[in-house]
Amino acid sequence: MSADLLDATFAALADPTRRAILNRLAAGEATVTELAEPFAMSQPAVSKHLKVLERAGLVTRGRDAQRRPCRLDARPLREAVAWLADYRDYWAESYARLDEVLAELTAGSRDERPDRREPR
């Protein structure tokens, strides 16, 4: 994935309205009118959000006579997840090392503790 497309994908996902539009499109295609229904915004405002999603490659628009349905294209999401997976691996390795250090510290502190029982 090119850096520009990755930037566009994350920029598109940064907005909660655009994420909600993607959630809706995951259920199936929809027109701008249908997408605008749950929001307190105009159709032109929704269209602006759709343009951002289109630039990121997350949405495509078709033509069906007078109808222009929007569809989700999840490929950029898959590529963004793949990019993030490298960091998930980094953090998993970091946590594994931390677990080892904590286990060593815990084992060492048990060995250094004096017997707390009083002699009778």
Do 46 and 32 meet the contact criterion of CB atoms below 8 Å apart? yes
Q: What is the pLDDT of residues 30-84, one digit of tens each?
A: 999 999 999 888 999 999 999 999 999 999 998 877 788 999 999 999 999 999 9
Q: How far apart are CA 108 and CA 47, in angstroms?
A: 62
Residue 117: its pLDDT value, please?
A: 62
Task: Read off the pLDDT of each residue in 81-99 and give the average, rounded to a whole number.
Answer: 89
Residue 108: its pLDDT value, please?
A: 76
Residue 115: its pLDDT value, please?
A: 60
